[in-house]
Amino acid sequence: MSDLEKEPANGSVGAAREHATKETVADARRIVAATTKKLASMHKNQVHRDPWPDFEAFEVARYPVALRRAAAWQWISRAQAEHGSVHQFSAVTHALTEARAPMELLGALARLITDEVRHVEVCARIALTMYPEGNDAFFQWRTPRAPWSDAPRIDPNDREASELRLRGWASRAILTACALGETLSEPMLEALVVVSTDPLPRACSEQILKDERFHGRFGFEALAVLVPALDETEKNALQEQLGRALAGFERTTCGKTRVEDLVGHEVEIAPSTDPEGRPNLGTLSEREFAAIFYATLEQRIFPELEAVGLDPMRAWAERGKYPAPASKQRPEASAETRAAE
């Protein structure tokens, strides 16, 4: 499961509160609420992109409430993960600006932030559209926290060493968020496009997918620029972060399913694979998430990591050294499309 809390089960306090009278505006609704006419125009010109999903065309009455509720939970979980990406990429941009990184690197990062704002809106709006009955407890919005420590501060008395530490910190963040997280998200979104049986979740997945292909590529291109300028201490820290991130992604993406559980079993990603013929509103099972995760590591991510001088096989073998953190002060890294089970 991701760093988001589990969905309240039927009969729990959370489920009981869900049907309570709405006394305040839900946080998720506040996130996408209108502001001013001019800000709306700026936002739309920068963030909205044709074909923008037609949220009003979704037919709520076509689907049972339980199905819509389950799908909305995955989408609102994605929305909060995307909000976390806005927070993370903003911090990386700030750090690399202080480190006087090349403008081409900062320019690409600026696009990532805009893209992630788009993803937040798409995911939040589809969740709210699918489940208008949801109350504040269901759509509660958590303050984003990055799955790594804060960037080091510049020491004016030793700027060169400070900038080296900032570049090392940014490399570890980009490795985790882009080279791993964004690259993993791409095939998961491709799967969502395939399995979705309604036009709205398919359109939302396609919107996000257009950006994820760029984001993953950015991660490896940025590492190709940053890693050669690191000293051995920072390179060793980057290798260590790879093992820690792989362990975290495996836990948050695959749940209890491990690669050995998939050996000899075919996991088909196709529309209408539900044995009871139920529609799919943009959700994947834990087994499907796990199959995509392991295949993407082997076929796409590990070769790219080797190309920038990292040792993914050693990091994979050592990932057991990094158990789940006891404290929730820092969430674990998770692929953007992974929802709480």
Q: What is the CATH number of the domain that holds 241?
A: 1.20.1260.10
Task: Assess if residue 252 is contained within a domain.
Answer: yes
pLDDT in tens, 89-133: 999 999 999 999 999 999 999 999 999 999 999 999 999 999 999
Task: Assess if residue 1 is contained within a domain.
Answer: no
Answer positive or negative: Cα dihedral of 111, 46, 336, 153. positive
Q: Which residues contact 83 (CB under 8 A, 6 or more apart)?
A: 31, 116, 120, 141, 144
pLDDT in tens, 233-267: 999 999 999 999 999 999 999 999 999 999 888 88
Backbone angles phi, psi at 310, to 5 degrees: -95, 165
- Give DSSP secondary structure letters for 193-237: HHH--SHHHHHHHHHHHHHHHHHHHHHHHHHHHHGGGS-HHHHHH
Which amino acid, one-letter code, is at 252?
Answer: T
Task: Assess if residue 341 is contained within a domain.
Answer: no
> Is the predicted pLDDT of residue 17 greater than 60, yes or no?
no
Compute the distance between CA of residue 51 and CA of residue 53 in angstroms, rounded to an integer.
6
Backbone angles phi, psi at 16, to 5 degrees: -65, -40
Residue 320 DSSP symbol: G
pLDDT of residue 5: 32
Q: Which residues contact 273 (CB under 8 A, 6 or more apart)?
A: 195
Task: Assess if residue 339 is contained within a domain.
Answer: no
Mean of pLDDT over the chain:
88
Compute the distance between CA of residue 167 and CA of residue 152 in angstroms, rounded to an integer.
10
pLDDT of residue 267: 84
* Higher pLDDT, residue 277 or 327: 277
pLDDT of residue 274: 64
pLDDT in tens, 201-231: 999 999 999 999 999 999 999 999 999 999 9
Cβ neighbours, 10 Å, residue 21: 5
**Angle at the Cα of 305 (from 207 to 149), degrees rounded to 5?**
75
Q: Which residues contact 237 (CB under 8 A, 6 or more apart)?
A: 168, 172
Task: Assess if residue 306 is contained within a domain.
Answer: yes
Task: Assess if residue 38 is contained within a domain.
Answer: yes
Task: Assess if residue 314 is contained within a domain.
Answer: yes
pLDDT of residue 136: 85
Mean pLDDT score, 309-313: 98
Query: What is the number of domains present in the chain?
Result: 1
Binned at pLDDT 50, 70 and 90, residue 269 comes out as confident
Domain that includes residue 300, residue range? 27-321
Cα pseudo-dihedral 227, 101, 185, 150, rounded to 10: 90
Instruction: State the pTM of this model.
Output: 0.87
Which two tokens mark 94?
């700030």
Mapped onto helix, strand or coil, the DSSP state of residue 52 is coil
Residue with token string 């491709």? 190
Mean pLDDT score, 269-273: 71
Q: In angstroms, how far is the first alpha carbon of the chain from the final one?
A: 6
256: Cα separation from own chain's centroid: 19
Task: Assess if residue 337 is contained within a domain.
Answer: no
